[in-house]
């Protein structure tokens, strides 16, 4: 990127000062529960109305696929490093960028403050007497900073320290971060360390008048950091200013762009235009590509061959199992019966899936005083992850089999505009959130079905990003479609296990029409549907409206309303399992 402005005499300076902009750029972490009916504009407004937190992944639109058809990460997150003096306006610039980017998928403002080193008792005494040098590069744990940033950039989760300015100390807890496609790092020495610099896609230095920085710092430190004016001044003269001159200001020579600490609207506009262009170049149609790789529709090989090639673990097709599936497939089955038999089936499926867990030998003494050799299972690192909401009916079975199991969830929904899956919410159990435990974890992924496999791809990628071993992922589904994305999923993730009870032949194309709030499934394959089926389809359609509007926050599009959106349905299938179970 060309230099557009600089303080260095060797580099031409362009004055980016322009209109004053004193707005606070704010955003909100994605709501913990999805709101079903909400428009893009109202969400965007509320995102910008609320004070953002640093070190929190902020999302407005969900995260589209960040990997290719091989399951490999497509591109790293885009990382912006912002350096500058204390109170120069680094956080302000970061928030302005966030605000100007608008509907980008997910972003985190990562603060260098989190990486202040732990202090000994003596250092703490100095700190409280304003005699500790927090502005020297040695005060910051640069290797840890670089390692956390590198993990986040590569799409991995990270656990960052939490720092208290009031206590001058790192707190015992850590903050879990995952899933940002844009990372904005800010700190006085954000451009100091070469390793950190190598991680940035864009380097910014905020240059501000020293008097203004001091005035802002006094105001902030007294108000927010529990300091006295005398203390702030003494620390400033002894450490802050000398370090600014010796260590901070010299790093401006590494910056791609110098932004003024006041009236910087034009600079922010330039930066966001650049970032948006970079993000556009990285985006790619994922689901379309899988469909091209393995054409959906009807299976080309006999089912037996496919089951063997796909290494599916299918329940024995006993009359009893066939009876359960017949009830579940039957359109006329009552809700109560559907729930009863889905619960029974989920237990059978989970029992089958248990075959992949590491049971160890155990000897016990029996009530008649004899020893018996058996097996036992340590469940500490075994957990479940439900794909909301269709995977929910499988939870019952999992809890019956492992009563104290921790179950997290992923909310993945289809963006009706692009047809791509969007990751809207990640709530994972502790044994996955912590990197050192994730590698030992066994994870049951629960989803009602695998059709296009777009959701399954996303779920598996999330787990791999956390360091879960592929061979310890056990995907459990009521039904899978042979002619869907299953073979692409198997090719991408050959070591994970797939357990199901039914392998259906067809993945049929239907049209989903959006007009106002109304969605119609064009019955392209069956023009003369019975009235009962028509009625059931109405229920499905109604729910799809709620889900699609709630999830994708989509703008209603005239063309989409006219032509309809392509969706895929497993046949014969069990219908919308989540709806039949919950609604
Ligand atoms: N361009 C700006 N225009 C107006 N006020 C600003 C600007 N930049 C920063 N400020 C204000 O200055 C103070 C310090 O800014 P901040 O971004 O927190 O500094 P830093 O992160 O560099 O320590 C805040 O109160 C902020 O609102
Ligand atoms: N315990 C601490 C730690 C750091 N500081 C000061 O914070 C400044 C950096 O934060 P900014 O938000 O201003 O970039 C730095 O200049 C340190 O002097 C502190 O006072 N106490």
Per-residue pLDDT reduced to its tens digit, 251-273: 999 999 999 999 899 999 999 99
Look up residue 133 and give its two tokens: 């040098």
Task: Give the tens place of pLDDT for each residue, 413-457.
Answer: 877 677 778 888 899 999 999 988 999 999 999 999 999 899 999
Ligand closest to CA 22: 1
Atom of ligand 1 nearest to the CA of 206: 22
**Mean pLDDT within 510-530:** 47
Does residue 15 fall inside a structural domain? no
Task: Give the tens place of pLDDT for each residue, 116-128.
Answer: 999 999 999 999 9
Instruction: Grade residue 323 by pLDDT with cuts at 50, 70 and 90.
Output: very high
Whether pLDDT at 46 is above 50: no
**Which CATH number covers residue 142?**
3.40.50.300
Give yes or no: residues 376 and 233 share one domain.
no
Whether pLDDT at 18 is above 90: no
ipTM of the complex: 0.97
Q: Among residues of the chain, what percentage have pLDDT more than 70? A: 77
- Closest residue by Cα to atom 9, ligand 1, is 89
Instruction: Grade residue 583 by pLDDT with cuts at 50, 70 and 90.
Output: confident
Give yes or no: residues 255 and 323 share one domain.
no
Give yes or no: residues 311 and 264 share one domain.
no
Residue of 24 and 582 predicted with greater confidence: 582
Atom of ligand 1 nearest to the CA of 85: 22
Check if 420 has its Cβ closer than 6 Å to any atom of ligand 2: no
CA distance to 127, 189, 253, per residue, from 7 (Å) = 32, 17, 7
Atom of ligand 2 nearest to the CA of 227: 20
Whether pLDDT at 33 is above 70: no
Q: Which of 24, 216, 227 to mutate to test the pocket of ligand 1 (most atoms within 8 A of CB)?
A: 216
* Alpha carbon of 98 to ligand 1 centroid (Å): 15
Instruction: Select from 250, 282, 314 the last residue of a domain.
Output: 282
Instruction: Select from 230, 249, 282 the last residue of a domain.
Output: 282
What pLDDT is attached to residue 300?
Answer: 67
**Mean pLDDT within 176-191:** 94
Give yes or no: residues 54 and 178 share one domain.
yes
- For 368, how many CA atoms within 13 A lie in the half-sphere containing its CB? 2
Whether pLDDT at 152 is above 70: yes
Helix 319-329 / helix 335-353 crossing angle, nearest 10 deg: 140
Ligand closest to CA 23: 1
Question: With the C-alpha atoms ordered 407, 355, 488, 512, is the resulting torsion angle positive or negative?
Answer: negative
DSSP state of 424: E
Instruction: Grade residue 483 by pLDDT with cuts at 50, 70 and 90.
Output: confident
Give yes or no: residues 440 and 319 share one domain.
yes
Give yes or no: residues 190 and 334 share one domain.
no
Does residue 11 fall inside a structural domain? no
Q: Among residues of the chain, what percentage have pLDDT more than 90? A: 60
Does residue 149 fall inside a structural domain? yes
Check if 94 has its Cβ closer than 6 Å to any atom of ligand 2: no
First and final CA of the chain: distance in angstroms? 53
Whether pLDDT at 4 is above 80: no
Q: Which of 18, 25, 87 to mutate to test the pocket of ligand 1 (most atoms within 8 A of CB)?
A: 87
* Alpha carbon of 257 to ligand 2 centroid (Å): 24
* Alpha carbon of 87 to ligand 1 centroid (Å): 6
Whether pLDDT at 345 is above 90: yes
Task: Give the tens place of pLDDT for each residue, 272-292.
Answer: 999 988 887 776 667 677 777
Does residue 369 fall inside a structural domain? yes
**Which CATH number covers residue 317?**
3.40.50.2020
Whether pLDDT at 558 is above 60: no
What pLDDT is attached to residue 562?
Answer: 57
CA distance to 165, 219, 244, per residue, from 236 (Å) = 16, 13, 10
**Mean pLDDT within 172-186:** 92
Whether pLDDT at 189 is above 50: yes
Residue pair 405/384 in contact by the 8 Å Cβ criterion: yes
Q: How far apart are alpha carbons 54 and 82 in whole angstroms?
A: 14
Q: How far apart are alpha carbons 26 and 154 in whole angstroms?
A: 26
Does residue 34 fall inside a structural domain? no
What pLDDT is attached to residue 54?
Answer: 75
Instruction: Grade residue 535 by pLDDT with cuts at 50, 70 and 90.
Output: low
Whether pLDDT at 523 is above 80: no
Give yes or no: residues 205 and 304 share one domain.
no
Whether pLDDT at 92 is above 50: yes
Biggest alpha carbon–alpha carbon distance for the chain: 91
Q: How far apart are alpha carbons 460 and 72 in whole angstroms?
A: 11
* Alpha carbon of 127 to ligand 2 centroid (Å): 11
What pLDDT is attached to residue 389?
Answer: 76
- Give the total residue count for the chain: 583
Residue of 143 and 226 predicted with greater confidence: 143
Atom of ligand 1 nearest to the CA of 263: 1
Give yes or no: residues 333 and 270 share one domain.
no
Task: Give the tens place of pLDDT for each residue, 223-246.
Answer: 988 889 999 999 999 999 999 999
CA distance to 152, 423, 452, 461, per residue, from 469 (Å) = 19, 21, 23, 11
What pLDDT is attached to residue 557?
Answer: 53
Atom of ligand 2 nearest to the CA of 220: 13
Check if 407 has its Cβ closer than 6 Å to any atom of ligand 2: no
Residue pair 400/529 in contact by the 8 Å Cβ criterion: no
Whether pLDDT at 53 is above 80: no
Give yes or no: residues 418 and 527 share one domain.
yes
Task: Give the tens place of pLDDT for each residue, 196-229.
Answer: 999 999 999 999 999 999 999 999 999 988 889 9
- Closest residue by Cα to atom 1, ligand 2, is 168
pTM of the model: 0.80
- Cis peptide leading into residue 144 (ω within 30°): no
Domain residue limits at 333: 299-582
Question: With the C-alpha atoms ordered 415, 418, 419, 420, is the resulting torsion angle positive or negative?
Answer: negative
| Lining residues, ligand 1, CB within 6 Å | 22, 84, 86-92, 216, 220, 261-262, 264
Instruction: Select from 222, 253, 282 the last residue of a domain.
Output: 282
CA distance to 298, 435, 455, 530, 544, per residue, from 485 (Å) = 12, 30, 10, 30, 21
DSSP secondary structure, 358-422, as one string: --EEEEEE-TTS-EEEEEE---TTEEEEEEETTTGGGHHHHHHHSTT-EEEEEEEEE-TTT--EE
What pLDDT is attached to residue 561?
Answer: 56
Whether pLDDT at 538 is above 60: no
Ligand closest to CA 94: 1
What is the H or E stretch that residue 449 is in?
Answer: strand 449-450
* Alpha carbon of 135 to ligand 2 centroid (Å): 7
DSSP state of 115: G
Q: How far apart are alpha carbons 397 and 402 in whole angstroms?
A: 9
Give yes or no: residues 394 and 256 share one domain.
no
**Mean pLDDT within 407-415:** 89
Ligand closest to CA 26: 1
Q: How far apart are alpha carbons 434 and 429 in whole angstroms?
A: 9
Among residues 320, 252, 293, 307, the alpha carbon closest in space to that of 6 is found at 252
What pLDDT is attached to residue 102?
Answer: 75
Whether pLDDT at 147 is above 70: yes
Atom of ligand 1 nearest to the CA of 95: 17
**Mean pLDDT within 465-484:** 95
Whether pLDDT at 2 is above 70: no
Give yes or no: residues 303 and 238 share one domain.
no
Does residue 4 fall inside a structural domain? no
Check if 135 has its Cβ closer than 6 Å to any atom of ligand 2: yes
- Closest residue by Cα to atom 23, ligand 1, is 87
Residue of 302 and 242 predicted with greater confidence: 242
The domain total for the chain is: 2
Whether pLDDT at 295 is above 80: no
Does residue 203 fall inside a structural domain? yes
The overall average pLDDT reported for the chain is 82
How would you classify residue 84: left for phi > 0, otherwise alpha for psi between -120 and 50, otherwise beta? left
Instruction: Grade residue 73 by pLDDT with cuts at 50, 70 and 90.
Output: confident
Long-range contacts, 271-276 (Cβ 8 Å, 24+): 271/80, 271/97, 271/100, 271/202, 271/204, 272/97, 272/100, 272/101, 274/1, 274/202, 275/78, 275/80, 275/97, 275/101, 275/182, 275/202, 276/101, 276/104
Give yes or no: residues 73 and 188 share one domain.
yes
What pLDDT is attached to residue 321?
Answer: 98
* Alpha carbon of 176 to ligand 1 centroid (Å): 27
Does residue 293 fall inside a structural domain? no
């Amino acid at each position: 990127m060309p230099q557009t402005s600089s303080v260095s005499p060797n580099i031409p300076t362009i004055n980016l000062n322009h209109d004053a902009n004193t707005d606070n750029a704010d955003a909100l972490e994605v709501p913990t529960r999805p709101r079903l009916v909400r428009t893009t504009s109202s969400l965007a407004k509320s995102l910008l109305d609320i004070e953002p937190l640093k070190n929190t992944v902020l999302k407005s639109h969900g995260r589209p696929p960040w990997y290719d058809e091989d399951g490999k990460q497509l591109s790293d997150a885009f990382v912006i490093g912002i350096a500058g003096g204390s109170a120069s306006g680094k956080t302000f610039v970061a928030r302005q960028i966030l605000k100007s980017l608008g509907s980008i998928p997910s972003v985190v403002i990562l603060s260098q403050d989190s990486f202040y080193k732990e202090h000994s008792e003596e250092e703490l005494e100095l700190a409280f007497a304003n005699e500790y040098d927090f502005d020297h590069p040695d005060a910051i744990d640069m290797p840890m900073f670089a390692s956390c940033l590198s993990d986040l950039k590569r799409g991995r989760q990270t656990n960052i320290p939490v720092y208290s300015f009031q206590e001058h100390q790192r707190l015992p807890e850590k903050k879990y971060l995952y899933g940002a496609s844009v990372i904005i790092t800010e700190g006085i020495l954000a451009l100091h360390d070469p390793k950190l610099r190598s991680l940035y896609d864009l380097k910014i230095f905020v240059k501000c008048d020293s008097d203004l920085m001091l005035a802002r710092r006094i105001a902030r430190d007294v108000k927010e950091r529990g300091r006295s004016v005398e203390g702030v001044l003494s620390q400033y003269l002894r450490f802050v200013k000398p370090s600014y001159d010796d260590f901070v200001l010299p790093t401006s020579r590494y910056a791609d762009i110098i932004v003024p600490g006041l009236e910087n609207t034009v600079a922010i506009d330039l930066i966001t235009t650049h970032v948006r262009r970079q993000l556009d170049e990285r985006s790619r149609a994922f689901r379309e590509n899988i469909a091209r790789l393995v054409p959906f529709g009807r299976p080309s090989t006999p089912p037996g061959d496919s089951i063997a090639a796909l290494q599916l673990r299918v329940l024995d097709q006993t009359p009893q199992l066939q009876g359960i599936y017949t009830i579940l497939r039957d359109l006329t089955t009552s809700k109560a019966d559907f729930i009863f038999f889905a619960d029974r089936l989920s237990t059978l499926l989970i029992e089958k899936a248990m075959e992949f867990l590491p049971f160890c030998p155990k000897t016990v003494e029996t009530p008649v005083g004899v020893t018996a050799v058996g097996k036992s299972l340590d469940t500490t690192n075994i957990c479940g992850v439900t794909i909301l909401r269709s995977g929910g009916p499988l939870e019952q079975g999992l809890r019956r089999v492992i009563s104290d199991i921790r179950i997290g969830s992923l909310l993945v929904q289809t963006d009706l505009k692009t047809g791509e899956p969007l990751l809207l919410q990640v709530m994972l159990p502790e044994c996955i959130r912590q990197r050192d435990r994730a590698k030992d974890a066994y994870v049951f992924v629960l989803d009602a079905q695998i059709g296009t496999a777009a959701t399954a791809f996303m779920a598996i990628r999330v787990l791999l990003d956390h360091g879960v071993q592929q061979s310890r992922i056990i995907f459990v589904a009521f039904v899978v479609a042979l002619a869907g994305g299953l073979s692409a999923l198997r090719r991408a993730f050959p070591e994970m296990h797939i357990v199901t009870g039914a392998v259906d032949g067809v993945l049929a194309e239907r049209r989903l029409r959006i007009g106002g709030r109304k969605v119609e499934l064009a019955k392209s394959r069956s023009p003369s549907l019975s009235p009962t089926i028509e009625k059931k389809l109405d229920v499905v359609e109604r729910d799809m409206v709620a889900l699609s509007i709630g999830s994708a926050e989509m703008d209603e599009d005239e063309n989409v309303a006219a032509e309809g959106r392509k969706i895929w349905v497993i046949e014969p299938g069990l219908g919308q399992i989540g709806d039949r179970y919950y609604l």
